[in-house]
Amino acid sequence: MIQMNYHVQIKSISRLTHDTLCLRLSKPHGYRYGIGQAIEVAIDNPGYEQQFRPFTLTSLPFDPYLELIVKVYPDHGGFTQALSRLGENGPLIITAAWDSYDYRGEGVFIAAGSGITPFIPMIRQLSLSGRIPGHTLLYANKTEADIIHKQALNKALGSRFINILSREYHSKLDYGRLDQAYLKDKVSDFSEHFYICGPEAFSGAIKGYLINQGAAEAQIQIGY
Ligand SMILES: Cc1cc2nc3c(=O)[nH]c(=O)nc-3n(C[C@H](O)[C@H](O)[C@H](O)COP(=O)(O)OP(=O)(O)OC[C@H]3O[C@@H](n4cnc5c(N)ncnc54)[C@H](O)[C@@H]3O)c2cc1C
């Protein structure tokens, strides 16, 4: 089957944290996607049109734009650095959206750093439909400055938004590793759904801790 690609433009770029950008892209007419889906993105400049990288759509399907939240790695000298250098109207090629995460019911979102991206549209949708109770977000970062959308997540989730920092003491946020003891302390029901997103080592470790605490493997989702 021939993969359908779309030519889009960057409509706006804003900085969310010191190393994270929010890109809003033009939305092709009739473009459809679901919450938790991802796309492949390439820069539409000579020599780069075939270099696709995966990113999660953080907008909601009815938004008039497509939104990506991109962590930039300048030291890799690769895709995200090139993307960060494009300005407004920067040309991109995107693929159709494909399943990455799938919302299956109430439970706990567990994210590290830019791993928050699939949960942003889910939480926004839950908030819009008044279904936040029954959901918790455990969010691990190095420092407070790394927390993406801190205010918006706080507003949506209130006391169900739990931050843990590994490299900075903060009077109002937890400090340390998101390990088994921490999960045991923060999670009251291990029969719920668990959604984990972060670096592979993080996701694998968290999944193991959850299973040790009695969570069923079928209830745990891990994506990128
Ligand atoms: C399904 C899915 C969804 C994703 N969604 C998002 C998202 O919403 N937001 C987001 O920010 N990211 C997301 N990612 C991750 C994102 O695709 C990568 O972070 C990104 O493509 C890497 O870009 P880069 O700048 O490292 O460039 P690349 O061009 O991919 O890498 C450049 C070079 O850096 C090298 N490199 C790799 N790691 C290191 C390292 N630690 N130190 C030095 N060099 C290194 C590579 O070998 C390569 O040669 C997602 C990934 C997947 C699989």
What are the tens digits of pLDDT across the range 13-47? Answer: 999 999 999 999 999 999 999 999 999 999 999 99
How far apart are the CA of 139 and the centre of ligand 1, in A?
Answer: 20
Q: How confident is the model at residue 221 (pLDDT cuts 50, 70, 90)?
A: very high
Q: Which atom of ligand 1 is nearest to the CA of 55?
A: 5
pLDDT, tens digit, 9 for 90 and up, residues 154-192? 999 999 999 999 999 999 999 999 999 999 999 999 999
Q: How confident is the model at residue 3 (pLDDT cuts 50, 70, 90)?
A: confident
- The answer to whether residue 194 scores a pLDDT higher than 60 is yes
The residue whose CB lies within 8 Å of the most ligand 1 atoms, and thus the one to mutate among 55, 72, 114, is 55
Classify strands 37-43 and 91-95 as parallel, antiparallel or unpaired.
antiparallel
Catalogue all structural domains in the chain, each as residue range(s) with its CATH number: 5-99 (2.40.30.10), 107-222 (3.40.50.80)
How far apart are the CA of 17 and the centre of ligand 1, in A?
Answer: 17
Q: How far is 79 from 92, CA to CA, in rounded Å?
A: 12
Q: How confident is the model at residue 8 (pLDDT cuts 50, 70, 90)?
A: very high
Q: Hey, what are 220's tokens?
A: 């745990």
Q: Which atom of ligand 1 is nearest to the CA of 223?
A: 1
Q: List residues near ligand 1 (CB under 6 A).
A: 38, 53-56, 69-71, 73, 75-76, 78-81, 100, 114, 117, 223-224
Average pLDDT value for residue range 91-116 = 97
- Tell me the CB-side half-sphere exposure of residue 40, using CA atoms within 13 A: 11
Question: Which residues face 6 on adjacent strands?
Answer: 94
For the purposes of burial, counting CB atoms within 10 Å of the CB of 115, is it exposed (0-12), middle (13-18) or buried (19 or more)? Answer: buried
The residue whose CB lies within 8 Å of the most ligand 1 atoms, and thus the one to mutate among 15, 53, 221, is 53
Q: Hey, what are 50's tokens?
A: 């075939």
Residue 1, pLDDT score:
54
Residue 165, pLDDT score:
98
Q: How far is 142 from 126, CA to CA, in rounded Å?
A: 27
**Closest C-alpha to ligand 1, atom 53:** 224
Residue with tokens 């679901």: 34
How far apart are the CA of 140 and the centre of ligand 1, in A?
Answer: 19
Total residue length of the chain: 224
Residue 4, pLDDT score:
87
What letter does residue 121 receive in the DSSP assignment? Answer: H
pLDDT, tens digit, 9 for 90 and up, residues 145-156? 999 999 999 999
The residue whose CB lies within 8 Å of the most ligand 1 atoms, and thus the one to mutate among 16, 22, 52, 73, is 73
Residue 2, pLDDT score:
61
